[in-house]
Structure 1
């Protein structure tokens, strides 16, 4: 499992101009079963994504297709971990 943080390195006007394309890319990751949770940081300085079900190299390849990444609007940090305990209903996330 991975926790991905992305921090905006561009102004919110540029982020907003590219938000629809980013959202469509995020939707595709949910459709593929890769993302299990995502959302904007508070305050709005970037976002957080939980991803599972692939090797790190595949995740990095997918992140490279994010319009925010392709246009240099955000920087990404990936933390990999193995969930040992999860809340009821989230058992599929355990490693």
Structure 2
């Protein structure tokens, strides 16, 4: 799994202009089963995405297709981890998604 931290490199007004395209990109990858959750940081300095496990090269390709990345308005920090423990409610969500 990965935690992807997106840090804005452009003024928020420019980011806001591309957010509808970014949201459409997110929806596409939720529908494909790549992403588990996402959202903005409360200070609006960036966003966070938590992904399902996948090869790192595939994740890099997905991130490169983000409209914010294509416009060079974000920097990605990617943290890879293996979940060894989850809250019971997450286990139920994962079971429901798998069926």
Q: TM-score range by the shorter chain?
A: over 0.9
Q: Is there any run of 5+ residues in structure 2 with no aligned partner, and where? A: none
Q: Is there any run of 5+ residues in structure 1 with no aligned partner, and where? A: none
How far has the Cα of 1:15 moved from its partner? 0.4
Q: Within 2, Cα distance between the matches of 1:53 and 1:33?
A: 10
TM-score, normalised relative to structure 1: 0.93
How far has the Cα of 1:54 moved from its partner? 1.1
TM-score, normalised relative to structure 2: 0.89
> Contact 2:2–2:53 (CA<8 Å) still a contact in 1?
no
Partner of 2:59: 59
Q: Within 2, Cα distance between the matches of 1:44 and 1:9?
A: 12
Alignment of 1:1-95 (within 5 A): 1-91=1-91, 92=94
Large movers: runs of 4+ above 4 Å: none
Q: Within 1, Cα distance between the matches of 2:22 and 2:69?
A: 9
How far has the Cα of 1:88 moved from its partner? 1.1
What RMSD in Å do the two structures reach over aligned CA positions? 1.3
Q: How many pairs are equivalent?
A: 93
Task: Specify which structure has the higher proportion of helix.
Answer: 2
